[in-house]
Chains A and B, each alone.
Chain A
Amino acid sequence: MKPFAYAVAGAPADAVRRISGSPGARFLGGGTNLVDLMRLGVESPDLLVDVTRLDLDRIEPVDGGGVRIGAGVRNSDLAADPRLRVAYPMLSQALLSGASGQLRNLATVGGNLLQRTRCPYFQDVTKPCNKRSPGSGCPARTGVHRDLAILGASEHCIATHPSDFAVALAAIGARVHVTGPAGDRTLKVTELYRSPGEDPSRDTVLDPADLITAVELPPSGPAHRTSLYRKARDRASYAFAVGSVAAGLGLTPDGEVGEVRIALGAVAHKPWRARLAEAALTGRPATVEEFRRAAGIELAAAEPLPDNAFKVTLSQNLIVAALLELAGGEAR
């Protein structure tokens, strides 16, 4: 392995200062993704700045009713938080469906959001990949792509974002607090991620020296409290999603859709907020027919490849099943 330096940052500003100006430096959270990529030779940092001791490990209410989650909170602790389990069930469910118990004990909120997209070619340094080695090509479109993107991809990259947690956050409408060389800023989780477009080398809009300090959840509304996360996978535990949905539903007294929140996982380079489906449903009766219609509208833009075409049906079914369950229909 390539030797690298290791430093422990004592405060967010210290972490940013240590990494600024060092293109080969990386923040190290739980290491559950970065260390794997280092072992594969995909990442070869010359400096790791440990950001797990920045005093960012609290879950606390904010003025106005939201919740602020420190970027250093471990996935297991966050999933176990009793307030969040009631106020945002989809969040806890998403966290608990991810990885394994051991990994969740290590993984941090900030690191989870910044895990790299997955693709067999990205992870194999003996093969071309536009994300890892810009301009080298994308063999996935004609190669192994069963698990890859059907929405928002480009000819340069069809990798998918692997986080379950981020899908729930996208549906919740969470915001991300970032500190960096240029100061502090806040952006929506859905703004954090990029589509691959012409430059798949970047997964997010952040610069390497930008540090996520917290995730902020909006006040819990009906479509947060009545919510769920549903993950379809190839094995019952310890597997990335083949398709997933985070959904929340608030009904009006006469059974119409008052508020609906839907995000899809494992279909795109980022958590896919299903705005088209949401718009198609709002104000409509909460019926299976309407759910199907809305799911079809969202997936109409899908551009699947031969081996992942099933993800269109799978994603539609997940949306319908989730909404039906939230509306009090047949249980899963």
Chain B
Amino acid sequence: MSAPVFRRPAAAGPPQPREESVEKVTGAARYAYEYPQQEAAYAWIVTSPIAKGRVLTVDADHVLRSDDVIAVLRHDNAPRLEDVGDPALAVLQDPAVAYRGQVVALVVAKTPEAAREAAATLPVEYEELGHDVVLTPDHESLYQPDAVNPDYPADTEQGDPDGAFEASPVRVDHTYRTVALHNNPMEPHATTALWHDDGSLTLYDSNQGGHVVRQTIAGLFGLAPDRVRVMNPHVGGGFGSKGTPRPNVVLAAMAAQVTGRPVKIAVTRQQMFSLVGYRTPTIQRVRLGAEADGRLNSITHEVVEQTSTVKEFAEQTAVATRSMYAAPHRRTSHRLARLDVPVPSWMRAPGECPGFFAFESALDELAAELGMDPIDLRVRNEPETDPESGKPFSSRNLVACLRQGAERFGWEPRPRAPRTRRDGRWLIGTGVASSYYPTYEAPATATVSADENGHHTVAINATDIGTGARTALHQLAAEALDVPWADVTVRIGDSDLPQAGLAGGSMGTRSWGWAVTKACRALREQGGGSVTANTAEDIKALGEYSRAAYGAQFVEVRVNQDTGELRVPRMTGVFAAGRIVNSRTARSQFIGGMTMGLSMALHEEGVMDAAFGDYANHDLASYHVAACADVGTMDIAWIEEDDEHLGGTGTKGIGEIGIVGTAAAVANAVYDATGVRVRDLPIHLEDLLA
């Protein structure tokens, strides 16, 4: 398919700064912990130092002697919660300890300092049981989940993948491993909770979707949803870890209920490594069988990953593999080990991100076996229709991304022997990988009203977690209304506003923008007043197409021959993600995704301490996230698509695709530079030390 250029409308498309940027950099923008409250109390979480067992006693009196300590919540005195089907939120409901770092008590005090000191000195006795925290490929607890996130089948099989593999003249069969990765948004999870005299509850909470928090908290506390209001006008990042409520919001509401005061709670950076979710480690075996011309016969991608004993989270690691390249014989599978570990959850592109490290590395290994250019290999296996479902693609510009990226990057066609380019003591290599992210959407409702002066107010409970969503909605509204920027105000981040889904799955701006533009167009037709629009029916009416964003990433690495140190001087990413609403914030999203992918490739690693059962490097001094100095030149481009099958605003979503494939591109470049194939992330300098 050719790449049509989207006709830029008046209001959307051009670079537009975030409208709240001055508020943010001057500190005027308030975050969840920062709303002043009369008589506020401060809660501090006490976590378990054992990985399995149960709490025997909590000696609250020991800390209640302090005049500053107001209450100590434990499993035997905390308010009872209703069952909402999320055991990770059933905090302080029973004495069982299922992982190290689990909440075992909550101290509430008049000052954060007093709460912290009391939490540090609170005597808690445990009965400790043996724990099992190490993921192995043949762990005895391995099982097939009913579905993988969010609702894909765990296993798929077409044809005879084993037979076709064995019969293929060129084969690769390797196992790749990724480590636990921890979401570290700048703003830790935090909540300010406030009960009112009428029994209603207000929560200032750092999350990726206020409606989910409202529904969940209302359920847990036995309230009607309209008795709970959740405010999140500014959120300092989430990466998925704030996609659903985490213990902090439940604990804040409990503590406020028990003490009768507004309560503030902030999860510490160290606590984030056990309490807010993380990306599961994976062990992935990939087998590819091909003809001598590169045509794939067989694709097999089998995944082992972990979940907790508290709650199942099944990452969809091999799902993206199903839709990527043509091959008649295919199998994917997911197996989970239930371990005594913190509850894994979403982290930017759950599934696609770790899955594509393995899959796109294996393709590079196959290209080397074939003596073929890795771009040509991917082009050779470009499918006519979605290989999994058989559905037509709404649009698919992977090949265009690869071609345009190759030209921008200056890709030198292969084959060539690895370890052939150097500059002094530095070996130089280049690598490429594809990116993919499915296009999701959720129903949303938006209201737009015009006042007598011609000013328009758009209201929707969207969440801007730092992406620029508020600004994008403002652009889309001004465009749909065909009015100047200044004649529109966008209100988001309040659960009293019309209902909308998560800032997650790269579907925020797509889903919210759809409702906003629908309401705005209707208002324009109506000639004023107020219009509320919902997109549920529009979404149901979407045609049967395979919808996804695609991309290609190119990386140059330099590896020092003396130290094994790895540097990445430049990267190119070209994406095809439908219409791009705001080129400025879109570029930031792609850069952010690729930087996080680079960080995954080189730095990020939750180191499981088998003896104690925790991630030992639970702070930002020892859990390395890429620093500015690690990021070289980032060349970002996109192919604007005019895809009539996307509906709504014609966007596909850009929040996650940037991280998908990056790590494979880095590892592929490392192979080109050094001849060393690293199949376990992150790539350590000792892996490359001669």
Contact = CB atoms under 8 A, between A and B. Distances in A.
Contacts of A139: 609, 611-612
Contact of B689 (A233, A240, A317): A317
Interface residues of A, number: 36
B56 interface: no
A142 to B, nearest CB: 7
B685 A232 contact: yes
A331 interface: yes
Chain B interface size, under 10 / 10 to 19 / 20 to 34 / 35 or more: 35 or more
Contacts of B685: 232, 234, 242, 310, 314
B120 A41 contact: yes
Contact of B113 (A1, A36, A237, A238): A1
Interface stretch (B232-240, B620-628, B669-677): B620-628
A232 B689 CA distance: 11
Contacts of A314: 563-564, 685-686, 689
B607 A232 contact: no
B686 A310 contact: yes
A317 B564 CA distance: 10
A240 B627 CA distance: 13
Given A124-B616, A318-B562, A332-B425, A235 B609 contact: no
A127 B622 CA distance: 17
B335 interface: no
Contacts of A232: 560, 563-565, 685
A233 B425 contact: no
Contacts of B113: 1, 3
Contacts of A142: 611
Contacts, number: 93
Interface centre among A127, A236, A238 (most CB of B within 10 A): A236
B602 interface: yes
A238 to B, nearest CB: 5
Contacts of A3: 113
Interface in B638-690: 684-686, 689-690
B607 A144 contact: yes
A142 B424 CA distance: 39
A99 to B, nearest CB: 10
Interface string A143-168: 11010000000000000000000000
Interface string B562-593: 11110100000000000000000000000000
Contacts of A236: 567, 627, 629-630
B55 to A, nearest CB: 15
B562 A237 contact: no
A90 interface: no
Interface in A20-44: 36, 41
B689 A313 contact: yes
A243 B685 CA distance: 11
Contacts of A36: 621
B524 interface: no
Interface in B409-461: 424-425
A321 interface: yes
Contacts of B116: 1
A208 interface: no
B117 interface: yes
A166 to B, nearest CB: 18
A239 B624 contact: yes
B547 to A, nearest CB: 37
Nearest to A36: B621
Interface in A292-332: 310, 313-314, 317-318, 320-321, 330-332
B49 interface: yes
A278 to B, nearest CB: 20
A234 B684 contact: yes
A321 B562 contact: yes
Contact of B563 (A237, A240, A317, A331): A317
B536 interface: no
B125 to A, nearest CB: 14
B404 interface: no
A317 B562 contact: yes
Given A235-B630, A237-B630, A314-B686, A332 B562 contact: yes
A178 B608 CA distance: 42
A176 to B, nearest CB: 26
B322 interface: no
A120 interface: yes
B612 A127 contact: yes
A102 interface: no
Nearest to B568: A236
Contacts of B22: none
A2 B63 CA distance: 13
A1 B630 CA distance: 35
B214 interface: no
Contacts of A124: 616
Contacts of B611: 139, 142-143
A139 B611 CA distance: 8
Given A127-B612, A318-B562, A235 B626 contact: yes
B107 to A, nearest CB: 13
Nearest to B617: A120
A237 B425 contact: no
B616 A330 contact: no
Contacts of B117: 1-2
A307 to B, nearest CB: 9
A234 B617 contact: no
B680 to A, nearest CB: 13
Interface in B590-618: 602-603, 607, 609-612, 616-617
Nearest to B120: A41
Contact of A321 (B425, B630, B684, B689): B425
A220 B592 CA distance: 47
Nearest to B424: A331
Contacts of B684: 234
Given A1-B113, A235-B630, A238-B627, A330 B686 contact: no
Nearest to A234: B624
A264 to B, nearest CB: 13
A235 B616 contact: no
B425 A330 contact: yes
Contacts of B624: 234-235, 239
Contacts of B607: 144, 146
A235 B563 contact: no
B603 A234 contact: yes
Contacts of A146: 607
B610 A237 contact: no
Interface string A187-210: 000000000000000000000000
Given A120-B622, A235-B629, 5 more contacts: A3-B113, A126-B612, A144-B607, A144-B609, A313-B690
Interface of B: 49, 113, 116-117, 120, 424-425, 560, 562-565, 567, 602-603, 607, 609-612, 616-617, 619, 621-622, 624, 626-630, 684-686, 689-690
Across chains A and B, which 7 residue pairs bring their CB atoms closest together, nearest first? A237-B629, A310-B686, A236-B629, A232-B563, A321-B562, A126-B49, A317-B562
13 contacts: A123-B619, A139-B609, A139-B611, A142-B611, A144-B617, A234-B603, A235-B603, A237-B628, A238-B627, A314-B686, A318-B562, A330-B424, A332-B424
